[in-house]
Amino acid sequence: MAQSLQIAMYTAEAQRALYELSKVLLYTPQGAPSDETAAERIENLRSVIRYHEWRYYALNDPVISDFEYDQLYKQLEALERQHPELITPDSPTQRVSSDLIEEINQVAHLTPMLSLDNSYDARDLLDFDTSVKKLAALPPDSVVEYAVEPKFDGGTIALVYENDRLTRAATRGNGLVGDEITANIRTVRSVPLQAPFSQYGIAKAELRGEAIIRKDVFEKINAARQAAGESLFANPRNAATGGLRMKDPKEAASRGLEAFVYQLAYAADAQGQSVLEHIPTHTDALNMLEQLGFKAPSTQPGPTDLPERRLCRGIEEVIAFCEAWQEQRDAYPYEIDGMVVKVNALDLQERCGSTAHHPRWAVAFKFKARQATTRLRDVEFQVGKTGAVTPVAKLEPVQLAGVTIQNVSLHNEDFIRSKDIRIGDYVLVERAGDVIPYIVKALDHLRDGSERPIEYPRNCPVCHSPLVKPEDEAIWRCENANCEAQILQRMIFHASKHAMDIEGLGESTITRFYQLGWLRSITDIYRLDYDKIAQLEGFGEKSAANLRKAIEKAKQNPIHRLLHSLSIHHLGQKSSKLLAAQVEHVLELANWDLERYQQIKDIGPVLAQNIYNFFHNPHNLEMLRTMETLGVNLRQTPEDRRPASAAEGPLVGKTILFTGTLSTLTREQAEARAAAAGATIASGVSKNLNILVVGEKAGSKLRKAQELGTVEIWTEAEFLERI
Ligand code: IVH
């Protein structure tokens, strides 16, 4: 058998011949060469189509275009239509049956389908290795070879081939008996309808594998279902297992199922004698299945830069490979929930044996769970810095992908209503990759009647003023700018990293100072009493001095940080920079009219209105003036003059102003072009101005610039040429 493993269905030679035959079939009409019969051409077409399906579906590496493949397929269909008597069940055209499946039959597996024992960390894998050596009576210091491959998260399948033909496919069922799903599996193109097992002396074989749906295909299926108003699948596994059991094979075919094979569970010759003992290792078995045209985990690096399967010498290599895969799992096109570690030598597998539940020669290394269920104890409504009221679920603490989860946002009222989440419910929580955790659904079948609906408040939970919900928003807001919760959140944001970046003044310190009555508003941050702070438990002289240093430093921040720190709704880091580039002093903004904000590129009407409102509120102006007297910088710094969007361009570092009527550009277009070229748009003529672009009827600004003598004066044409 070791010898015969060299047999390959598609040797390089065979592949060349099939490729050339494809071209002949594509580009010579039927009947040529002259003595070719319809039966011969049909057989040739089937051979080349099978070959191209293998390249495409099993190897993911086609050698002809989709168009050429379609032409070959259509030729075959046309010929079979003309000669229906020549149609055979294993023709590539016969994958999708038009007969509906009346009733799903139960079938017994040739050998039981066991489960896998689980392991979760390096320690568990070391224990597994120790146990393998004990069971196989190997010395403790021996090095065992393990085959390691992904644990595919789809629907388990068992495929039976008899006399080189696929005769039966089944689900796992209870491990002994499964559901017969042959008609649906036949639609999966990575499952060959025929495979030359006889070349290996095998008359009957049973393979195990997994039917799965690629993540991107799954997204498309769900998008289409959403568009059609149909219910969505929770994950690719549900879409796959559902697809296997469709009554209409056409529907199964439309799921985009693929199948990996990962075990040769049974192989017997024509006399019914097992030939498995002639196949020395699991790796040999998978190589053989690959040669036979199946899609097995590949030994070549793929999208994750890791091979799907690797033969590891010793458990340390296994641990490293599993951990590398755990890191890379998001880059893999299929969902996997771990790796499977298998003793490679089949005779050692035999020596290890199995329990009724799982083999002792294999173990699943489970990745950290991304989903968990827990109980929703309560819902708290938190008021954010701009007054948005967010419901937050208080959960019984649960471990998820290595992190304890206790608080999860429920986003808004629509989210709660659409998922019908209630207090006291068991909920399914998910944390995928770096994504923040969220509640997938409530487990409504576990309800005992004590659950309470979540009452959405109509008044601010802190200041009790009525909440308001703008028509086009999903969020209720507290509109009282003096609401204590908002003030506290605004202080926290003001000091945070992206805003004034005051080290040592995080959420807990601010809350503490707030509770002590030391912080009532943002301005209080700049009049803290450091002597008192030094007396505080957990502080001391050193911490107080450090805090003072951090606050003194923050006072010198460029004004774009200050603008961002003011919690003006929608005013982010980038728009703060755009705004900072426009003014020499923050309080100039109090003199701007609404349109002026709108003229700034990337500042839309809503944000313009928010900024306008802020700078036309006397309390806010008072706050800024107080801050200035306390030493906070309100003047434009060189950093503020650096444009936010264009870090490079012919006008980087230059301040520019337009005056008079331009002939080819509107004022707005000209300013946008200048900003894109890196310039800062000035608000008036001053000694900071570098360039004045003059149009027709330029008046006082031109005169002033000429008087200063330091300003370059350009015509519109010159400006256009420079940019
Ligand atoms: S080997 C008896 N290899 O995991 C051992 N199983 O919890 C035979 N699975 O239902 C299974 N990927 O369907 C094996 N590469 C892989 C697998 C794999 C997924 C599934 C299998 C089984 C479950 C065990």
- Ligand 1 mean position, distance from CA 599 (Å): 62
Query: 363 in ligand 1 pocket by Cβ < 6 Å?
Result: no
Where do the domains of the chain lie? 2-94, 117-366, 371-454, 484-641, 655-722
- Has residue 568 got a pLDDT over 80? yes
450 Cβ neighbours under 8 A, 6+ residues apart: 424
- Measured between alpha carbons, how far is 524 from 514 in angstroms, rounded to an integer? 10
Residue range 570-584: average pLDDT?
90
Residue 1 — very low, low, confident or very high, per pLDDT cuts 50/70/90? very low
Could you read off the pLDDT of 411-462 as tens digits, one per residue? 888 889 989 999 999 999 987 655 678 898 999 999 999 999 999 999 999 9
Distance of alpha carbon 428 from alpha carbon 373, whole angstroms: 4
Label residue 508 exposed, middle or buried (CB < 10 Å: 0-12, 13-18, 19+): exposed
> Could you tell me whether strands 336-343 and 477-478 are parallel, antiparallel, or unpaired per DSSP bridges?
unpaired
Structure tokens at 675: 């900003």
CA distance 234 to 366: 20
| Ligand 1 atom at minimal distance to the Cα of residue 115 | 24
- What pLDDT band is residue 219 in, cutting at 50, 70 and 90? confident
Whole-angstrom distance, CA of residue 577 vs CA of residue 365: 49
Per the DSSP assignment, residues forming a β-bridge with 480 are none
| Cα–Cα distance, 602 to 606 (Å, whole number) | 11
Q: What is the pLDDT of residue 598?
A: 87
How would residue 371 be classed by pLDDT, with cut points 50, 70 and 90?
confident
Structure tokens at 393: 């679920």
Active site residues: 151
pLDDT tops 60 at residue 7: no
CATH: 1.10.287.610, 3.40.109.10, 1.10.10.10, 3.30.470.10. Which one for 2-94?
Answer: 1.10.287.610
Alpha carbon distance 95, 166 (integer Å)? 11
What pLDDT is stored for residue 435 in this prediction? 60
Superfamily of domain 117-366: DNA ligase/mRNA capping enzyme (3.30.470.30)
Please check whether residue 107 is in contact with residue 180, taking contact to mean a CB–CB distance below 8 angstroms: yes
Instruction: Tell me the per-residue pLDDT of 109-155, one tens digit each, with 9 for 90 and over.
Output: 999 999 999 999 999 999 999 999 999 999 999 999 999 999 999 99
The CATH number given to 484-641 is 1.10.150.20
For a pocket test of ligand 1, which of 260, 340, 355 has the largest count of ligand atoms closer than 8 A to its C-beta?
340
CA–CA separation, 77 and 88 (whole Å): 12
Q: Is the CB of 359 under 6 A from ligand 1?
A: yes
Mean pLDDT on 29-50: 87
- How high is the mean pLDDT of the chain? 91
Q: Is the pLDDT of residue 702 over 90?
A: no
Among 118, 146, 153, 156, which is best to mutate for testing ligand 1, by the most ligand atoms less than 8 A from CB? 156
Q: Is 172 in the pocket of ligand 1 (CB under 6 A)?
A: yes
107 lines ligand 1 (CB under 6 A): no
C-alpha pair distances (Å), 169 with each of 254, 256, 589:
18, 17, 73
Query: What share of the chain has pLDDT > 70, as a percent?
Result: 97
Using alpha carbons only, how large is the chain's radius of gyration in Å? 35
- Higher per-residue confidence, 302 vs 280: 280
pLDDT of residue 30: 77
pLDDT over 90 for what percent of the chain? 71
Determine the CATH number of domain 371-454: 2.40.50.140
In this prediction, residue 3 carries a pLDDT of 37
pLDDT at residue 262 is higher than 90: yes
d(C-alpha 708, C-alpha 101), whole Å: 90
Question: Using CA atoms, how far apart are residues 482 and 28, in angstroms rounded to an integer?
Answer: 83
The one-letter amino acid code at 4 reads S
Atom from ligand 1 closest to the CA of residue 156: 13
pLDDT band for position 648 (50/70/90)? low
Q: Which fold has domain 655-722?
A: Rossmann fold (3.40.50)
Indicate whether residue 115 lines ligand 1 (CB < 6 A).
Answer: yes
| Measured distance CA(519)–CA(5) in Å, rounded | 78
What is the whole-number distance in angstroms between the Cα of residue 445 and the centre of ligand 1?
Answer: 29
Give the CA angle between residues 486, 492, 495 to the nearest 5°.
Answer: 135
